[in-house]
A and B are shown apart, each in its own frame.
Chain A
Amino acid sequence: MRPEIVMLALAVGACTWAFRALPFRFDLTGLTPEGWLSRLLAATGPAAIAALCAVSVLPLVKGAAPPAPLGAGLGAVIGLWVWRRSVVLATLGGALAYGAVFAL
């Protein structure tokens, strides 16, 4: 195993665990909801996900992917999310729709 890969996994894993566990130890509900720190923390996650979503979809819409599977995949993700509110179901359904239309 490459040491830099193990180091990256340990650093990211420790931070992810801390983000999940620390709110139970230190009650973050005490933070002023409108304080700048609360707003920064609340905005960081959505900003990261929006950035990653944009960068992962960009190569597909720039022409690297055929339009029919892309439309089916994106439509399935949105439709399944609206229907069931499940990230896993929407992800699997989107991939399934993309693969199915690709096969046609």
Chain B
Amino acid sequence: MGEARAQFAQGMVAGLPVVLGYFPIAFSFGVAASRAGFSAAETTAFSLIVYSGAAQFLAVALVAAGTPLLVAGFTLVAMGVRHLAYGPALMKHAGQGRTRRAWIWAFGLTDEVFGVALGDLARGRRFSEAFMAGLGLAAYLAWVSGSWAGALAGGGALAAYPAVEAGLGFMLPALFLALLLSILSRRQMPVILIAAGVTLGVTLAVSATAGILAGMLAGALTGALRRATA
């Protein structure tokens, strides 16, 4: 029990860099959601339930643009598929039978939490579910409280600070670009190029929503149909 508590505390400490990063991003999500007409309760509920930054920013944009619910849901779910890769990567370090409570702590397995956990494991830390829970909870609390604070501040909170508003407005493209860089590999390059190219073409010709859907489908099919390479 004492060992588990110590691991949990170590996880929370290891999560501090994520906490410091998440709070301002979540705050800007709260402001953006408020500007798009979300109430403080809706904004906070989104962070409590979905807990995925990129998906939440996109959800706000899609809802604000009047995208049909089914199309918005499909797009957001497709974005989350990348998380399937995190479990197997951690399992290699954890071994069989040591992830019995993963159904709880895996809720908090975001891109950054995964990155911190993998980094600690690579530096020799023994895998522990209590550590994962502490790390995930610290990041989760920062995300939810940041969203709530941003929602309470409201969409017009930064009108007197145009540079801050401009910086926060750039947060979404910056987040997607950083995520794209994090998954960039020679193997996935054709998928990325085709998805981006089709998205741009269809967006310019039809609409952003159609562009996103067409780009995602074209990229995923490119990956599925591509001949296996050694």
A21-B45 contact, Cβ under 8 Å, with A47-B216, A92-B21, A94-B178: no
CB of B106 within 8 A of CB of A95, answer no
A1 contacts which of B45, B91, B195 (Cβ < 8 Å)? B45
CB atoms of B176 and A49 under 8 A apart:
yes
Chain B: interface residue total (CB-CB under 8 A): 98
A15 to chain B, nearest CB (A): 5
A78 CA / B184 CA spacing, docked (Å): 12
Task: Give the interface SS of chain A, mostly helix, strand, loop or mixed.
Answer: helix
Highest count of chain B CB atoms <10 Å: which of A15, A49, A86, A94? A49
Contacts A44-B81, A87-B179 hold; do A58 and B200 have CB atoms under 8 A apart? Answer: yes
Question: Are B164 and A99 interface neighbours, CB within 8 A?
Answer: yes
Give residues 35-49 of A contacting B (CB, 8 Å): 36-37, 39-49
Q: Which residues of A contact B215 (CB under 8 A)?
A: 47, 50-51, 54-55
**Are A47 and B192 interface neighbours, CB within 8 A?**
yes
Interface pair B112/A43, CB less than 8 Å apart: no
Asked whether, in the complex, the Cβ of A12 is within 8 Å of the Cβ of B77, the reply is yes
Taken together as a complex, chains A and B put the C-alpha atoms of A89 and B115 apart, in Å, by 12
User: Which of B76, B87, B107, B172 is the most central at the interface, judged by chain A CB atoms within 10 Å of its CB?
Assistant: B87
Once the chains bind, are B87 and A23 in contact (CB under 8 Å)? yes
The 8 closest A-B pairs by CB, nearest first: A43-B223, A99-B167, A47-B219, A23-B87, A45-B82, A88-B21, A51-B215, A94-B174
B residues apposed to A, CB below 8 Å: 17-18, 21-22, 24-25, 28, 38-39, 41-42, 45-46, 49-52, 54-55, 58-59, 63, 69, 72-73, 75-88, 90-91, 99, 102-103, 106-107, 109, 111-112, 115, 162-164, 166-168, 170-183, 188, 191-196, 198-200, 203-204, 208, 211-212, 215-226, 228
